[in-house]
Structure 1
Amino acid sequence: MSQQAGRQMHLVGMVNPPTSQYAENWRDPLGRSDWLSGRFYADLARTLERGCFDMIFFADALAVPEDGDGDYGTTLRTAGKGSIYLDPITTVSLAAGATTRIGLGATISTSFVPPYAIARQLLSVDHLSGGRVAWNIVTSTTDAEARNMGHESIDPPGARYDRADDVVQTVIDLWNSWEPGALVHDRESGLFADPSRVHRVREELRLPGAHGDGVADGLSRGPLTLPRSPQGHPVLMQAGSSPRGRAFAARWAEVVFAVGDSEEGMRALREELRERARVDHGRDPDSIRVLQGVQPVVGWTDADAEAKLRMLRNRIDPAEALVKLARLLHADDLDPQALAVDVLAAHRGATGSMGFEDMLAAVSTQRGFTVADLAIEQALNQLHPQVVGSPATVADRLGHLYLSGAADGFIVFPALYHSSFEDFVAGVVPELQCRGIFRTGYTGATLREHLGYRLH
């Protein structure tokens, strides 16, 4: 077994209602529909905390997804992924107030939010939660998002990642602009904070019309208006799967959200990221946790779980699934009998995420999907690996992937809110604990401690 003694599996719950990865979630009688209420998120965070999850994290996008003609009608009519997104900072703050230990991940785009705002928002919640926050770093991917944020179109992937490198470095610099111990708060001497231990990020900014032909860099001078948090600063999380995205993850990410189409693919990606982190950036390979996305379908027996999966699949309307896939690929019409790989190649770049499209193509090739097959699987699980069975069966599979070095843990996608998470916490978590590969309780107070990292 390749895992070091004493290390344990990490679990993160991903939240993005009304659908999650299962398109019919919002219509299912076992799925909760109060996702515009605070109670929905408070209950969910407490459920995952009861299961000793490392973190709950909230996905985000800045626009309702559009088709090739710029129409958002299909997304809204079918409750497509992205039809509803609450502000993640607001939502993560609510979850912080409902819990005491679980980590809290918020998604914020580097393409449109100023570094100072990112640094202050995240560090504020990090302080208020006792050091439990992570930043899920995204660059945004669509023209619709760009237009909502006052831009004509989205930048090419390379430019977005170059911008992200600058933004992440500036955010980290702002978080570090107060040295440890800079907040003195000495009532007797009258010294509140030691200014010699608080620093600017940079002395000058390049601004339009200033310093000759300077160009606005959109960064920050600092210092931040907050000292360090109990964990030093928020954990960095990232999900890029393209070659440029993997390079970005190797440089910055402490938690990587990955999707593998096979055990061998999962292991190869983890090894690649660890090696890139070591060779390209001088990082300790153990400073990066690679978590694979999975959609568990848990029943009290294997037969029960298979029946649940059939029920989920049977509730998908094939015609509606084709409509949703056409919207995703910006296609006017799709031949259900065509080979999925050919259609994906013809609509390359439509989603704005090359890594996601590469995953769709790889799985479609491996399984010989027609377009109709791809549409159903996309509606069922967005082609993320499913683990189906009794609690013991699911724990066996996850435990094997973990112990064999294919993953440091898992991002758990629910098919249904909240029942899928409740099934996992009630059944699978105790099985993992019995095997000695998952915690039976939190031993630290901060997210960094949950992840096995030293405090910054």
Structure 2
Amino acid sequence: MKDAMTRQMHLVGMVNPPTSQYAENWRNPLGRADWLSARFYTDLGRTLERGLFDMIFFADALAVPEAADGSYDTTLLTGGKGSIYLDPVATISLVAGVTSRIGLGATMSTSFVPPYAIARQLLTVDHLSGGRAAWNIVTSTTNAEARNMGRDAIANPVDRYDTADRVLGTVLDLWHSWDSDGLVLDRDERKFADPSKVHRVPVDEGEKPLSRGPLTLPPSPQGHPVLMQAGSSSRGRDFAARWAEVIFAIGDSEEQMRDFRTEVQERAARDHGRDRNSIRVLQGVQPIVGWTDADAAEKLAQLRAQISLDDALVKLGRLLHADEPLDSRASAVDVLAAHRGATGSVGFEDMLASVSARRGYTVADLAIEQALNQLHPQLVGSPASVADELEHLFRSEAADGFIVMPALYHSSFDEFVDGVVPELQRRGIFRTHYTGTTLREHLQA
């Protein structure tokens, strides 16, 4: 175990244009609008690799978000989150071709994508990138996604996680279906591979296997892609404790962050026999970086001023599947309680309710904050001030690092890489160069 003086902070860039966590990103003249072009993503990959980030990862969902009546009009009219999603595996493949070190994360759903397809697609990218791929594991949450994938409705959260356990176990079996020395390539002996070192998926008695294998690929330079997950409900935390190498967490306070990290690491050790220190818990943050603290505060004020309360209320109502327009003056806690279960993510709803209660939010307050940063912690200030906050959270063991979520593409990432990263390096808590070639090596450093 590394002590407090030798631990190194981990940084991951989250990408999901055209909005990111800031709903008005697509309208802002300082935001790039070419998010349907290859260059948008290759430029991002180069920027984050220049900043020595561990990984860039791409969020995903399988449907345009719908209102209570099943319509998607308000999502498309307002440019709501989820209006556009490119296929994440295709996108990380694009970034792989213009980078050489940064990790590449893609979101894939255990509810709808067969294990064999997940295993082959991600291991292909892992090979072609030299061992830099990661799987951001999601179970999906909405009926709209289910209907797009030929189902009548989404399963309940417990069943979704039970399915995810089976799918993930099968994917790992497929990734391990070749021994490390199974590919022989002995030209003189005319022996391509050793069949005795290539295996079918083990079968549990009484259960129909999800795939029989073997996979059509041997292990990659890092063995297999890194596993990443963001479950925040109790069942989601157990899933993360069992499987995840990287956990994407959201905490509203230092105490919440530390409690979550401690709990999930203890679950991993107690319930699953894992080394608690092998898990990297990364907290989501939205940095607003300026030349000075005052400059950053003015940037934040301008971002907030661009948000229309009417639009924000419409988006919040759609998120909660409200049948009627929301009363902006009502208690956010009461409204969230009345629409419990609407988003399909219990952990996300609990976070909204917890933050709303602690801050005394009205529905209007919640709508604006949701449109501004989706209630992720905002770090606002000069590069030194932002680095101060990150360093404190890191050294206090509230986090092993951070998922950086930009307000604007690409300027928020540029400001972080050019301003905050050098500050972290001067303090000795962030790498000055990559010491490994694979993503798993970055995470273990």
Question: Do both share a fold (TM > 0.5)?
Answer: yes
Change over 3 Å in CA distance of 1:306–1:52 after alignment to 2: same
Give yes or no for the alignment of 1:283 onto 2:270: no
Distance 1:358 1:8 in 2: 31
Change over 3 Å in CA distance of 1:3–1:328 after alignment to 2: farther
Secondary structure of the residue aligned to 1:266 is helix
Aligned with 2:356 (options 364, 373, 376): 364
Aligned with 2:261 (options 270, 276, 279): 270
Match in the other structure for 2:128: 128
Instruction: Count matched residues.
Output: 443
TM superposition shift of 1:413: 0.3
Equivalent AA in structure 2 for residue 74 of structure 1? T
Measured on the aligned residues, the alpha-carbon RMSD in Å equals: 1.2
Give yes or no for the alignment of 1:308 onto 2:287: no
Match in the other structure for 2:286: 295
Would the aligned equivalents of 2:203 and 2:209 in 1 still touch at CA under 8 Å? no
Would the aligned equivalents of 1:205 and 1:220 in 2 still touch at CA under 8 Å? no
Would the aligned equivalents of 2:174 and 2:214 in 1 still touch at CA under 8 Å? yes
Would the aligned equivalents of 2:343 and 2:349 in 1 still touch at CA under 8 Å? yes
Equivalent AA in structure 1 for residue 245 of structure 2? E
Secondary structure of the residue aligned to 1:98 is coil
Equivalent AA in structure 2 for residue 188 of structure 1? D
Secondary structure of the residue aligned to 2:444 is coil
Distance 1:129 1:21 in 2: 28
Identity over aligned pairs, percent: 75
Most deviating of 393-402 and 190-199: 190-199
Match in the other structure for 1:323: 314
Match in the other structure for 1:94: 94
Match in the other structure for 1:397: 389
Change over 3 Å in CA distance of 1:436–1:178 after alignment to 2: same
Distance 1:5 1:402 in 2: 11
Equivalent AA in structure 1 for residue 56 of structure 2? I
Aligned pairs (5 A) from 1:413-424: 413-424=405-416
Match in the other structure for 1:82: 82
Would the aligned equivalents of 2:291 and 2:382 in 1 still touch at CA under 8 Å? yes
TM superposition shift of 1:339: 0.5
Give yes or no for the alignment of 1:227 onto 2:223: no
Would the aligned equivalents of 2:280 and 2:400 in 1 still touch at CA under 8 Å? yes
Change over 3 Å in CA distance of 1:205–1:36 after alignment to 2: farther
Distance 1:320 1:221 in 2: 49
**TM-score by structure 2 length?**
0.98
Distance 1:104 1:218 in 2: 29
TM superposition shift of 1:203: 5.8
Match in the other structure for 1:384: 376
Match in the other structure for 1:212: none
Distance 1:205 1:286 in 2: 34
Match in the other structure for 2:194: 194
Would the aligned equivalents of 1:3 and 1:403 in 2 still touch at CA under 8 Å? no
Distance 2:171 2:126 in 1: 14
Match in the other structure for 1:429: 421
Secondary structure of the residue aligned to 2:264 is helix
**Structure 1: any 5+ residue segments left out of the alignment?**
207-214
Q: Deviations over 1:349-405 (max 9, x none)?
A: 111111110000011011000000000000000000000000000000000000000
Aligned with 2:331 (options 328, 339, 344): 339
Q: Deviations over 1:63-110 (max 9, x none)?
A: 000011101111111111111000111001001011100000000000
Q: Deviations over 1:155-193 (max 9, x none)?
A: 000000000000000000100010111111111111111
Equivalent AA in structure 2 for residue 389 of structure 1? G
